[in-house]
Each structure stands twice: as C-alpha cells, then as structure tokens.
Amino acid sequence: MPIDFKALEEKWRREWEKARIFESDPIPDRRKCFVTVPYPYMDGPLHVGHGFTSTRVDIYARFRRMQGYNTLFPWAWHWTGEPIVGAALRLKRGDESMIRALKLIDGVSEEELEKLTDPAYMARYYTEDSKEVLKRLGLSIDWRREFHTTYLEPTYSRFIAWQYETLRSKGFVTKGTHPVVWCPHDESPTGDHDRLEGEGVSPEEYTLIKFRIANAFAPAATFRPETIYGITNMFVNPDAPYVEAFVDGERWIVSQKAAMKLKEQLRKVEVLREFKGSELVGKTFEEPIGGRSLPILPGWFVDPESATGLVYSVPSHAPVDWVAIRDLLEKPEKLQVFGISPEVVRSIKPISLIKVEGYGEHPAIEIVERMGIKDQLDARLEEATNEIYRKEFHTGILKPICGKYAGRLVSEVKAELIQEFKDAGIADSMYDLPRRVVCRCTTPCIVKILEDQWFLKYSDQDWKALAHKAVDLAAIYPESARSYFHQTIDWLRDWPCARRTGLGTPLPWSDDWIVETLSDSTIYMAFYTIRKHIVAYGLNEKQLTNEVFDYIFLEKGNLEEISRKSGLEASLLKEMRNEFLYWYPVDLRNSAKELIRNHLTFFIFHHVALFEQRHWPRGIGLNGYLMIEGAKMSKSKGNFVTLKKAVNSYGADATRLTLALGAQGMDDPDWRTSTAQEVRSRLEAFYNFVMELSSLEVKASNGHLEAWILARLQERIKQVTEELEALRTRSAAEIAFYEVWNDLRWYLRRVKAPDAATLKEFLGVWIRLLAPFIPFICEELWHRLGNRDFVSNAPWPLYDAKKVDEKALETERFLKDLLEDTQRVLQATGLKPRLVSYYTAAAWKYKAYRELLRLVGDGITDMGAIIRKLREDPYLAERSRLLPSFVNKALEEAKKLPKDRMRKLLELGFLNELEILKDASAFLADELHSTVIVYDEDDGKKYDPKNRASSARPGRPAIYVE
C-alpha cells in the first residue's frame, strides 16, 4: 500500500510546532546539550550539502534529547559579505546566465526576479525560502532564537561591535599594511572567486638588485638574488617604455608600468621622463658586489609588465639568459642597430656559482642544449627554468665565489642573504603577480599594499597557545581531524578582518570599514542564548551596551549600575546571564571539513580570546563534502540539487536517511538519485512491515527465540548508542535500519508463530532507535503502536545486560552455521536433498574438546603434547585410537578461535546440540525442502550408511545428504 509521506510529514511537523517540543529553555539540574552548525550564507537556496551537515547534527540532537538531555539546536542566517551584493548587481545588469539559474535552479518567479535586485530583499527571500525547507526536513530547531547578520539586524551588529571593541582592547586587533591582489577599477581586493583569470595567484615579493647607471639606480628584479655572484650583463627590452623617476627620493630607472605599480606599494614616485628601452641598450652599469662594469644588452624576452622590467643576466644558471646571449652571438646584426660591437657579447663568459648534482659547470647551458631550445622566445624555456631553479634551490650548494655564503645550501641562505643585501643598501623589493590576474570586471589586477588595514592578530604566539589548548580539551569527531586544527593554528597569519564593500557590520571605531564575513561569525552561538530575550522583550540595540554584554557573557560590572544605565531590568539581565551560563559551552559544532582552515579555527581563536575556559567549545564534528552523482556540485555544471527539490521528490525522511547513509567521518558522501529512490521504497516497506507486525495478535510461547531476538536487540541498542555518541551517523543508521531488520527477519523465519508481546517490545525499541534518523515515520508508527506522547521525546532505549541471553545467541549461531555448512554441501554436490541426517558429536568428544580448548588457551598448541595430555584421562584413554584424527581437526579450529569467544565457550559450557537440532528439525526441513533426522554419534541404532557420524565435532555436527 503506498503511503502518503507528504501528508504524514506535514501532520507531524504541525504537531511538533503546536506542542513546541523543540523550544528549549534552561531547566536547572537537568543536563543540557547545545548543538550548532555554521549559519548558511543566503545568496541562494540551500542545497543537499547543507542538508547533509544539518541532518547529521539534527540526528545527534534528537538522540541526545531522547537520552534525556535538555537539547538546544538553534539556527540563523549569514548575510555578511560581497556575493549577495554582487549577485543582486549582476541581476540588475540583466546577466542572462544568472537569470536562467535563478529561474531554473532556485525556482524564482518572474515577479520576484525584479525585487531580487535589492540585496537585502534577496537575502530575505532566500532566508524565508530556506527556513520553510528546514522545517519540512524535520530539523528540531528552536526558531525563537533565529536571526540574521549585518546592520539589517541592529542587535546583532551591536553584538559584533561589542566583540570587536573587546578584542581590540585586549590587543587582538591591530592595524597594519599588507599586499593584496587589487582591482584598480573596483578599488577592492580581488579574491580567488572574483577572478576571470589567475586563480590561486598571490602577490610575490621580488628582490630588486640596485645597479648603478651614472647617477641613477636600475633595480633589476629577481627571485634568485644569490645569483648576483654570477652576473655578466643586464637585459632590457628595447621596445618597451621605461621611465626615470624619483622613488622615495632616489633616482630609479624602471619600466613605465613598474612606476605605476610602485605607487600602489607605498612608494613616493615622481616620474621625471619617459624613454624607450633601446636608449639603455649598449650602456654599461656597475654591479654592487665586485664593482665591475658590465654591458646592457637587448632582450626581447623581457616582459615590461613584470616587476621592474629589468633583468640581470646569469647565463650559467638561468636558461633564458644563456639563450638570449646565444641569440645575440648567432645574429650579431641585431647588435649593430644599437651600435654594440659583437666583441662585447663574445667576451661574456658564464660564471658558475652553484654546484648542483647531476650537472656540470653551467647547468643552464646543459639543459638548453639537452632540450634543444631554439631561441629566447621558445615556450619550453619556462620548463627548463623551473627545473634548474628547483634543483638548485633544494640541492644546490654555493661555490667559493659567493664569499661568506660559500658552501651552504641555496634554500638555507636565501632569506638571510636578502636581508643582508637590503641592510647593505644594495637590494630592495617590490611585490608583483607571477601570473596575469584579471578581475571579474575584466580589469587586469595589480598588487596594492593596503594601509590602515585591520587585522586579527592570529600570528600572536600566546593566542595560538590558547587555541591549541582549546583543541586539546575539545572532543573532535572524527579524532583524526584534531591534527588539522593544530596545523591550521600554526599556519594562520594575521587576518584582515575588515573590508570596504559588501553587507555587514561597520567596525565600531571606524565605520568606513565593515567587519569581514569570516570575522563576524565566530562567537555568535553565544548570541543564540540571549536572542530569545531580545525578541520576547523587544530589546533594541541602544539598550545592548557594551556593559550589558560584559555582564551577560563575562559577568563583569555592577548589576544595578548596568541596569540603571541601560534601562534594562536587573532581573532580565540576570535571566540572560543565566541563560548564557546554562547553554554554554557549545557541546557540538559540526560543519564540512573545509571550514577547519578558516571558520572553525577562527571560532576557537575567538572563544579563547573572549571567554573563560569553561565556555570553550566542547565538541567539534567534521563531515565530508557532498558530491552529486559522483561529481562536485556546481550550479554551472547543472548538477545542483536544492534541498527543497530533494524533499519534494523523496520526502523528508528518505532525504534524511539517504544523507545519513551517505558517508561517515570526513569522507565525501555521494548523493545519487537511485539511492534516494531506493531508500524511499525501503521506507515504504518498513512502514508496511511494522504496521503488519503490530497488528499480529499471535499468542505464542516465550521461548528461546524470543530470548534470542531480545538479546540481539540489546546488542543493537549498544552499538547504535555508541556510534551516535561518537557522531558516526552512517554506521548508526546502517545498524539501526538494516541490521536490526535482518535480525527480525531471522526471528520471523525461525519462529512458527511470532510472539505478539515480544514483537511489541521489539518494535517499540526499533522505532525509537530510528527516530533520530526518520522522525516523521517513526512518530506516526509510534502513535499507531498506541503511544500518546511524542517519540521525539521518548526515552532512548537503554542497553540491558540482563536481557543478553548468551545461550540463546550461541544456539542460533550454531544453527546458522550448520545451515550454511549444509548449503555448502548441497552446492558442492549439486544434490536436491531427499533426506538430511545430522549426527551430533559423541560425549567423549565434548570432554576432549573442552580440555583441548583449555590447553590451547594456556598456549599449548603442539598436537603430540595435547594428545598425551588427553590420554591422562582414563575415560579418553579408552578412545585413544580415535583421538588423533579428532584432535587434528579440532586443534586447527581452536587455534583460530578468538580469545574472548574461547573464553565464552568455556564459561558457558557446550550446548545440548542434540536437543537443539531435534527442536529445530522442522525448521531445518522447511529450509532445506527435505526430511531431516537427527542422531547422536553414539546412538547404536542410527542410520549412517556412509559412516559420516564419526566426523562430528562439538559445534559442528556431521552431515549426510542423500
């Protein structure tokens, strides 16, 4: 019978809302559980990836709630940042692909489309849309605490202002300068996601070696300043524009482009005159180490867009330099234009300065020849350069010509050398992009050094130490993620925490800056605790002074005074303080693993900076990144599944269970339509199955099969509980759903008439085990089973060791094994059995086996020794002749037995196999479609034409099939 999941889910959603069962208030003396997920950014609809993370947390929350924890799961919305503004803007401009995506994927209607050009409207639109979906998904959220970020929610902005003023007063916010990739058109930093070209490119610092030409400096740019010891000449692009300019008071010669760039790097630049590169060619300059006078040669490979547009030449170690010189040697006519004598070039001798394994004197020349490089514009030069650079950097040793640096590794001395050159005034530096970067707005980017930039001082060693400590104190799920946090803490540098554009909260002391999006989302879990009061009492931002927050979160200040100044009742302040104290710390914050490197670690940093240790995070969970049909989810690729669509197509429970079964730990789950469909039909089957069973009214004996199924159930309770406590939601769902089902299947197969009372108990437990995963169906079934309260609030099943009937478990295990053995025989022989005879082992074999197990347990595994030992027993000695063949097989088996099972066997004693088989013979006959007879090996009247009975062993009766 098909089930109307939609109506069922709708019904229970309303019931839960009506009964307000997920609205959590402090209950003194009751243990609490506070779980959160990062609030989603509202530039689009929620997708199944959001569903994955939040379902995991909801499963955990529901589990804890049933365990009796007063559980709080709040939710909020992130509006801070640039993308919402950007999206609204693109829409306004009529971006076609954007409009298509909005209509097709997000399901936006025509009349809404126009309104979405307002960023605030867009954020609100998606927020409303998403909230509805989350409710339909069955998340057990306390919606009274909902909020969104930015100045559009002044009380939140006030909270952020308090946070930043406090951080600043503690010295965690500092002002500094910093190079960024900059779009001159947008006048803002261009992050990776805002680029048309140049993903992953970041500013690199070039060293400038200052060469003297007459009364000016020609700063040539390099990443390898150590090669100065092998300089032979300089290259200038004769066709490119250069300038002479005052740079910070010095007369410099650089490319025209470089002069512009330097201006953006806090240099005072005053251009004196412009000229073509050819003007420099043929002149000489003085190198600063040996004071030699060297020539300037034409180099068409020199890119005036890169750094200073001046390159010094080290033909021994730089393939391009060598090839450029070779070009000039081969085509001296090119020199004549500039009036340079070919003799000048011919007299250039490469100077070797780095010794590197696998190469001789002049690595650059060798590689150029080996690769057969044509000329200075050959594309493979880049490859050659990389190869030489890498080799020389990691393994190269500087030669005696390098003076005080001789004998050391290049990689070792580089930083030191740069510093000393700078100190000596022969070097300087500038930033540039190693590759072209183009902004979304199509403008090529440059490097700009931002002044007055505000930073969170994550480089602070004391702060890092506290963060490390917080990670050590927290539970991390899975444990393997812990080291990621430590690494991230070490790796983190100062973080620019304010931007000029986008939505957000202004910096309280400088309102032309907005607190950046990753920086305004670090401690808002604390805000949840008091958001309830802000809404209920209609508090406004003016009342929420710094003193008020200080009191609530830090218990600072005098209550009466704060009350008087803020106009808030002292009792209310106290209530808020208590609410915070009750819920804090966060017991679990769960997110996708990619947030470790930013958000989650920021979250830790800010907590240790602001709160007492008892309020630091207690648990952090990580999960993988959701894939769609095996591929990364992306709107442009079209494989984007919104949460709404999933819930519409499969229903909330099927969506939840599909997600829960998807993956565990930090593995990436894969959303597949086929899986979701399968899960949905399994759920239908599950529902019908339970309904069918619950209506059975069979009064049956309370035999060992009932003991077995209930014992089995206890094991499952234990497993599911342990898995959930460790946030292993996948295993938990798998056991609760499939394994329990399999147990029940076996019971029903075994038992002729299932016992109604046992089934009732079983179903009651099963439904509760499943309630965190598929709450709607479970709620329905729970009520249909005659319960009047909500399963969402029902007590979680407790493992009861008293119900674990070991004998029953062993008995069924024995039968399953025997059935399996029999089937193997049938398979091997291809027989369709008419008669199956079983022979249980003779009494002496049990005695011998027990003794053997004991000996093996004591570490005696030598066959001869064991037989001798057994013969000491007169009873066994009588069967001396039979012992070897029995011991041979039994020993082999016993050696493989795991220790705890061996112990159990010895403790429990052996089963009465003959009796068990006699009881089960009808069942076995049924299963095997055959007559089944059972004998004791010692039975004198047994039917045993092929003398199989002698191979019977304890636990493994002999089998004869015909």
What residues between 642 and 701 interact with RNA by CB under 7 A? 663-668, 670, 674, 678, 681-682, 684-685, 688-689
177 binds RNA (CB under 7 A): no
**Residue 134 or 949: which CB sits closer to RNA?**
949
Burial of 635 (0-12, 13-18, 19+ CB in 10 A): middle
CA dihedral angle for residue 551, residue 554, residue 557, residue 562, rounded to 10 degrees: -10
734 touches RNA by CB under 7 A: yes
Look up residue 595 and give its two tokens: 């947030």
Which residue lies nearer to RNA by CB, 480 or 613?
480
- 83 part of the interface to RNA, by CB under 7 A: yes
Instruction: Please list the alpha-helical segments (H only) found in 294-350.
Output: 319-330, 333-336, 342-346
Q: Nearer Cβ to RNA, position 31 or 749?
A: 749
Q: Residue 26 or residue 86: which is nearer to RNA going by CB? A: 86
Output 312 or 747, the one with its CB closest to RNA: 747
Give the DSSP H/E element, type plus range, for residue 843: helix 843-857
Query: Applying CB under 7 A, does 106 fall inside the site for RNA?
Result: no
Helix (H/G/I), strand (E/B), else coil: 444: strand
d(CA 354, CA 411): 12
Choice from 731, 758, 792, 811 touching RNA (CB under 7 A): 731
Min dist. Cβ of residue 928 to RNA (A): 10
Asked whether 731 and 664 are in contact (CB, 8 A), the reply is: yes
Nearer to RNA, 350 or 955 (CB): 955
Nearer to RNA, 420 or 944 (CB): 944
Residue 709: CB minimum distance to RNA, A: 14
Q: How far is the CB of 391 from RNA (least distance, A)?
A: 10
> Which residue, among 466, 480, 464, 796, has the nearest Cα to 620 in the 3D structure?
480
49, 81, 119, 298: residue in contact with RNA (rule CB under 7 A): 81
Applying the rule CB under 7 A, the residues between 197 and 216 that interact with RNA are 200, 202
Q: Where are the alpha helices (DSSP H) in 25-179?
A: 48-66, 83-92, 96-104, 110-115, 119-137, 154-169
Residue 828 and residue 816: Cα distance in Å, rounded? 18
By CB under 7 A, the residues from 215 to 274 that bind RNA are none
Binds RNA (CB under 7 A): choice among 370, 699, 802, 895: 895
Q: How far is the CB of 78 from RNA (least distance, A)?
A: 5
Tell the smallest beta-carbon distance from residue 189 to RNA (Å).
4
Task: Please give the Cα distance from 814 to 492 (Å, whole number).
Answer: 58
Closest CA to 606 of 916, 65, 153, 163: 163
Rounded Cα distance between 531 and 313, Å, is: 65
Joined tokens for residue 552: 């609530």
In angstroms, rounded to a whole number, what is the distance separating the alpha carbons of residues 227 and 677? 65
Binding status of residue 859 toward RNA by CB under 7 A: no
Query: Least distance to RNA from the beta carbon of 208, Å?
Result: 21
What is the closest distance, in whole angstroms, from the C-beta atom of residue 662 to RNA in the complex?
8
Among 53, 54, 80, 529, binds RNA (CB under 7 A): 80
Determine which residue in the list 827, 864, 941, 947 makes contact with RNA, applying CB under 7 A.
827
The answer to whether 385 and 319 are in contact (CB under 8 A) is: yes
Per CB under 7 A, contacts with RNA among 783-822 are 818, 820-821
Question: How many residues sit close enough to RNA to count as binding (CB under 7 A)?
Answer: 96
Options 24, 36, 70, 190; binder of RNA; rule CB under 7 A? 190
Residues 899-958 that bind RNA (CB under 7 A): 901, 927, 946, 948, 951-952, 956-958
Which of 4, 17, 187, 192 touches RNA by CB under 7 A? Answer: 192
- Residue 10 has, within 13 A of its CA and on its CB side, a CA count of 5
For RNA, the closer CB: 372 or 830: 830
Q: Which is nearer to RNA, 570 or 897 (CB)?
A: 897
Residue type, 528: Y
Q: Does 496 bind RNA (CB under 7 A)?
A: yes
Q: How many CB atoms lie within 10 A of CB 747?
A: 22
Q: Is 730 in the site for RNA (CB under 7 A)?
A: yes
CA angle 336, 338, 344 (to 5 degrees): 70
Please report how close the Cβ of residue 409 comes to RNA at its closest, in angstroms.
13
How many CB atoms within 10 Å of residue 387?
14
Based on CB atoms, which residue is closest to RNA, 129 or 142?
Answer: 129
Rounded Cα distance between 514 and 520, Å, is 10
CB-CB contact of 743 with 709 (8 Å): yes
Mask 549-588, x = binds RNA (CB under 7 A)?
----------------------------------------
CB-based contacts of 329, cutoff 8 Å, min separation 6: 342, 345, 346
Q: How far is the CB of 634 from RNA (least distance, A)?
A: 12
Q: Is 185 in the site for RNA (CB under 7 A)?
A: no
Q: Is 830 in the site for RNA (CB under 7 A)?
A: yes
Residue of the chain from 87, 102, 161, 180 that contacts RNA (CB under 7 A): 180
Percentages of the chain per state (helix, strand, coil), in multiples of 5 = 50, 15, 35
x/- letters, 310..349, toward RNA (CB under 7 A)? ----------------------------------------
**Considering only residues 20-49, where is the footprint of RNA by CB under 7 A?**
41, 43
Instruction: Provide DSSP, 373-434.
Output: --STT-TTHHHHHHHHHHHHHHH-EE-GGGGGGTTSBHHHHHHHHHHHHHHTTSEEEEEE-S
Alpha helices in 697-804 (DSSP H): 704-725, 729-734, 740-750, 756-770, 775-784
Q: CB nearer to RNA: give 543 or 951.
A: 951
Angle at 325 between CA 324 and CA 330, to 5 degrees: 100
Residues between 383 and 422 with contacts to RNA, criterion CB under 7 A: 390, 394
CB of 423 to RNA, least distance (A): 25
Chain residues 113-152 in contact with RNA, contact rule CB under 7 A? none
Q: Name which of 597 and 803 has its Cβ closer to RNA.
A: 597
Site track 514-533 with RNA (rule: CB under 7 A), x = hit = --xxx---------------
Determine the interface stretch with RNA among 238-246, 727-735, 879-887, 914-922 (rule: CB under 7 A): 727-735
Based on CB atoms, which residue is closest to RNA, 335 or 489? 489
Residues of span 586-605 touching RNA by CB under 7 A: 594-595, 597-599
Instruction: Determine, following the binding rule CB under 7 A, whether residue 490 of this chain makes contact with RNA.
Output: no
Cα–Cα distances in Å, from 144 out to 10, 584, 705? 20, 18, 49
Query: Phi and psi of 439, rounded to 5°?
Result: -75, 160
> Quick one: 601 or 714, whose CB is closer to RNA?
601
Rounded Cα distance between 879 and 868, Å, is: 13
| Angle value at C-alpha 61, between 56 and 64, nearest 5 degrees | 125
> How far, in Å, CA of 809 to CA of 710, rounded?
10
The alpha carbons of the chain give a radius of gyration, in whole angstroms, of 39
Verify binding: residue 741, RNA, rule CB under 7 A: yes
Instruction: State in angstroms the smallest separation of the CB of 486 from RNA.
Output: 10
| Shortest distance in whole angstroms from residue 471 CB to RNA | 15
| Shortest Å, Cβ 896 to RNA | 4
How near is the Cβ of 825 to RNA at its closest, in Å? 5
Single out the residue of 82, 106, 587, 755 in contact with RNA (rule: CB under 7 A).
82
